Structure 1
């Protein structure tokens, strides 16, 4: 049911609609950011303006549907239904279908340049892998299905539950996403139920060293889940990534090694997320270079997403990482954007250390905190079961917050 508009006088009306048509109306209005009551009003006005009633719609199984319409419109609509010899339910179904036909679903907004997001922090254990996976999953969700999204980040004022906020049902972005496990520990690969590539086989490391044995596309595997369609893929880790910095030391223009390796894949995706290792070595230089702003690319489309925890050691690691990024900016003359800070695994019940640290992150301002993700059991359960979190627990607080994060940096 919709709420009454504040503009003009409206009255509540009750009728019936079949569930399939009501759901399609709900999704389409969410896609177009239009209130349901305005869509129904426009559909009825268009229906009444036709010279004759359009084709019948299947109203079997119709159940109660209510909305708010301008005073007098519903009485006029009922009179037109009687004149045309159709039931009120059939007339309303035709009007809603007419509006849907005149307002097709928008096309998925695809970037002109593939977006490259490097998820990083020199400190291990902050949850970079969970943020990489969850953000990628959120970006790949179906654009014809509604999902709960946190719409109020509640970051301006510190509270005991900084991750809380209102929820809204919104369609998924429907983007084509590649997750790249750039960490030799292979946590992203294992969490998503895949196996790391064996030592000595073809791998991202081999391609970065200029020793690829075949097309890198052959190494990519799909994350098979109906909510992601065929839009979410993974480039698995390889145990030989422990040797990457050594191998890169002999490569010319080594900062561009990751970009050269992934270039053949870029046309297949809208977003590529890199799960970076907890390192400040040559591999991290290559990741930061890959996330730089390219010619013709909008500021903030690509860049570094920094994952931290609300505790002191994350602040030390943050300083080291930002210093490395600044050095690359200065040495190579690059535009490297910060996409924001994610405070992960937050639990305000841990007291002053957690709450004061969170406030310290919020006070940074540039880059700003773009999400606070709670430390809850569903993520750990999904890891144990080797399933994507947004598939395992799509309505849990973490999933809702990750969808908000994905939209915040889009």
Structure 2
């Protein structure tokens, strides 16, 4: 145990004066206090968390300035006349192989570094103006890249389809049948595209040299709306032909903007024709006699039927020679198809022996669903060659066109809906030539 005069063994030894261990005095700008109590320098205030350099040149937290990049050397020879100059590429210096002279005056080195591979055998050497000379332009184009001749842009393809559908020259590009074809567009289910099919097929055939008449037999008058034909109250319509024996030529109206196309409109008065026809003699053949008495002969007569199996639909079946059935690619459309076929067979047995279901058109086809494929396969397996190869897809342009008083053929001739209806009309025209020859 140490006495009063003995030194404390736990005390920190202090340096003696002149021993060489004295603390140097703080220099100007050195952080921390110049005292012997603590060797920890005092903390300087932190810069604001802005992410940008602050302070002056003496600020220890100031971001250092980036070191300047070496200026690329000038090209050995000026670029050829008429071509933009290409700046030389900055490259890292390499040590030449022993025995090869080093590069000088900006000229490329004749030696090569050990890890750098040589040029590809099929790669052309760059010219004086860098890569992209006449000899090496095609070598850097992928073989999978189509040329302009092989693949036109989508807008050009759409414009080509529009010109083909509109047929501004007026030439007869769809063959005309040898005898008039009267087609009844019927399906007792509503919303399957009867009116849309009637309007667009009629416009497509009329634009390509055929004389077409559309008879709107639906009290809603949607076919008249799609062809922009007036059908308000007081306009002579098909009701006058059925009830008052008015000639069809006095009721038919020429469709504006579409040559060779006429329409017999339907007004709300046609809704009462179902009741008034009950007591009329030969009520089932009133429309057939009106069409037969028309002085002009048409290539095609399309009758747009209402979504029912009443007397109006029976009149259309008796007047027609062929039945066109649009079928929506859904289950409900198939469910009522059997009953429609039975009614057509009854009319064929008792009223119109020449009636035949000649055409089936699939509408509102949605290729994203398996149901549409299943319905298509069922219809094709049952009806065979009567089903058109053209299928009408779901297309918003088809639904927008009636709001402008147009068909999709004139509203957006380059759309998928217009193209599909054009193909369907062309297929119907070709089938007519096979049946009875061309005019």
Determine if the TM-score, normalized by the shorter chain, exceeds 0.5: yes
Structure 2 residue aligned with 1:346: 365
The answer to whether residue 378 in structure 2 is matched with residue 357 in structure 1 is: no
Equivalent residue in structure 2 for 1:206, among 240, 256, 260? 240
Q: Which runs of 5+ in 2 are unaligned?
A: 1-159, 430-439
Within 2, Cα distance between the matches of 1:260 and 1:249?
Answer: 17
The answer to whether residue 249 in structure 2 is matched with residue 217 in structure 1 is: yes
Does the CA-based 8 Å contact 1:137-1:232 persist in structure 2? Answer: yes
Structure 2 residue aligned with 1:156: none
Structure 2 residue aligned with 1:121: 187
Where 1:399 maps in the other structure, the secondary structure is helix
Within 1, Cα distance between the matches of 2:333 and 2:410?
Answer: 29
Does the CA-based 8 Å contact 1:341-1:367 persist in structure 2? Answer: no
The answer to whether residue 299 in structure 2 is matched with residue 233 in structure 1 is: no
Residues 253 and 395 (structure 1), Cα distance of their counterparts in 2 relative to 1, 3 Å cut? same
TM-score (norm 1): 0.59
Structure 2 residue aligned with 1:393: 412
Structure 1 residue aligned with 2:319: 290
Structure 2 residue aligned with 1:94: none
Structure showing the higher strand proportion among its residues: 1
Runs of 4+ in 1 over 6 A off after TM superposition: 105-108
Within 2, Cα distance between the matches of 1:363 and 1:266?
Answer: 42
Does the CA-based 8 Å contact 1:117-1:304 persist in structure 2? Answer: yes
Q: Superposed, which structure 2 residues align to 1:1-150 within 5 Å?
A: 110-141=176-207
Does the CA-based 8 Å contact 2:227-2:405 persist in structure 1? Answer: yes
Within 2, Cα distance between the matches of 1:123 and 1:367?
Answer: 23
Following TM superposition, by how much is the alpha carbon of 1:112 offset from its aligned partner in structure 2, in angstroms?
A: 4.2
Where 1:356 maps in the other structure, the secondary structure is helix
The answer to whether residue 181 in structure 2 is matched with residue 181 in structure 1 is: no
Per-residue CA deviation, residues 138-183 of structure 1 (Å, 9 max, x unaligned), is 1011xxxxxxxxxxxxxxxxxxxxxxxxxxxxxx3x0111111110
The answer to whether residue 436 in structure 2 is matched with residue 407 in structure 1 is: no
Residues 110 and 358 (structure 1), Cα distance of their counterparts in 2 relative to 1, 3 Å cut? closer
Structure 2 residue aligned with 1:275: 304
Structure 2 residue aligned with 1:194: 229
Following TM superposition, by how much is the alpha carbon of 1:266 offset from its aligned partner in structure 2, in angstroms?
A: 5.7
Within 2, Cα distance between the matches of 1:107 and 1:342?
Answer: 22
Residues 283 and 342 (structure 1), Cα distance of their counterparts in 2 relative to 1, 3 Å cut? same
> Cα RMSD over matched residues?
2.5
Per-residue CA deviation, residues 168-208 of structure 1 (Å, 9 max, x unaligned), is xxxx3x01111111100111111222332416x64312221
Q: Which runs of 5+ in 1 are unaligned?
A: 1-22, 31-104, 142-171, 293-302
TM-score (norm 2): 0.56
Equivalent residue in structure 2 for 1:312, among 284, 308, 331? 331
Return the structure number with greater relative CO, CA threshold 8 A, min gap 6.
1
Where 1:342 maps in the other structure, the secondary structure is strand
Following TM superposition, by how much is the alpha carbon of 1:358 offset from its aligned partner in structure 2, in angstroms?
A: 1.9
Does the CA-based 8 Å contact 2:172-2:210 persist in structure 1? Answer: no
Following TM superposition, by how much is the alpha carbon of 1:310 offset from its aligned partner in structure 2, in angstroms?
A: 0.8
Structure showing the higher helix proportion among its residues: 1
Following TM superposition, by how much is the alpha carbon of 1:215 offset from its aligned partner in structure 2, in angstroms?
A: 4.0
Residues 333 and 383 (structure 1), Cα distance of their counterparts in 2 relative to 1, 3 Å cut? closer
Following TM superposition, by how much is the alpha carbon of 1:336 offset from its aligned partner in structure 2, in angstroms?
A: 1.3
Structure 2 residue aligned with 1:4: none
Where 1:124 maps in the other structure, the secondary structure is coil
